């Protein structure tokens, strides 16, 4: 007489556990592949803007919020990745390209590509009466571009808003609507540059 088979564990059979593990690994590899694609998008934006005379600002590639602390799991993935740019003939303009991936409050609901320009003769401030930022810190404004879908929907339309001593010009589209360099130019960079620097 043989022993009866052991009941399934609460975690499922070995096959089920393996299947769930394989799905999780595939999801993690998918995130890694997405980050590589985002890097390619930002690099393509830099190339195309460079052709128009825009140069990356110092410390212009930002990945936030990241931590290597084992007790900070919410900071193990960047919430947004960004580069910002300057033009020698437009000293009052700071142009930003940012990819929003995730936020702790799930806003925006989908990954976005946003681009904007802060236009003014003075450095933008974080708000009325607050300390003005240095050029190397100005890119922090990109973190807020189009993260409120009610005020600034990600529909590809250019929005102009007053900001301190100048104004903000920005637009955003869903990340997965950008299926190649042509779409990046047509949907994001082209419309923004047409508003910010129509002379090219």
- What are the structural domain ranges in the chain? 14-196
Contacts of 155 (CB under 8 A, 6+ apart): 172, 173
Q: Are the beta carbons of 149 and 143 closer than 8 angstroms?
A: no
pLDDT class of 72 with cuts at 50, 70, 90? confident
Q: Are the beta carbons of 167 and 30 closer than 8 angstroms?
A: no
User: Percent of the chain, pLDDT > 70?
Assistant: 72
pTM, 2 dp: 0.79
H or E segment to which residue 81 belongs: strand 80-87
Q: How far is it, in rounded angstroms, from Cα 52 to Cα 55?
A: 9
Q: How far is it, in rounded angstroms, from Cα 65 to Cα 5?
A: 49
Contacts of 45 (CB under 8 A, 6+ apart): 83, 97, 115, 184, 188, 189
Query: pLDDT, tens digit, for every residue of 3-28?
Result: 555 555 556 788 888 888 899 999 98
């Amino acid at each position: 007489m043989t022993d009866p088979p052991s009941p399934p564990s609460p975690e499922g059979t070995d096959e089920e556990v393996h299947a769930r593990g394989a799905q999780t690994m595939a999801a993690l590899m998918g995130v890694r592949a997405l980050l590589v694609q985002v890097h390619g998008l930002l690099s393509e934006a830099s190339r195309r803007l460079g052709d128009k005379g825009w140069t990356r600002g110092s410390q212009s590639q930002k990945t936030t919020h990241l931590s290597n602390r084992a007790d900070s799991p919410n900071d193990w993935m960047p919430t947004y990745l960004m580069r910002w740019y300057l033009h020698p003939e437009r000293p009052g303009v700071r142009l930003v390209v940012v990819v929003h991936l995730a936020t702790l409050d799930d806003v925006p609901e989908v990954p976005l590509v946003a681009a904007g320009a802060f236009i003014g003769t003075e450095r933008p401030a974080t708000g009325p009466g607050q300390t003005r930022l240095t050029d190397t810190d100005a890119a922090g404004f990109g973190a807020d571009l189009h993260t409120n879908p009610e005020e600034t929907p990600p529909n590809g339309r250019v929005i102009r808003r007053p900001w301190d001593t100048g104004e903000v010009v920005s637009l955003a589209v869903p990340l997965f609507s950008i299926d190649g360099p042509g779409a990046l130019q047509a949907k994001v960079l082209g419309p923004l540059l047409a508003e910010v620097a129509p002379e090219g």
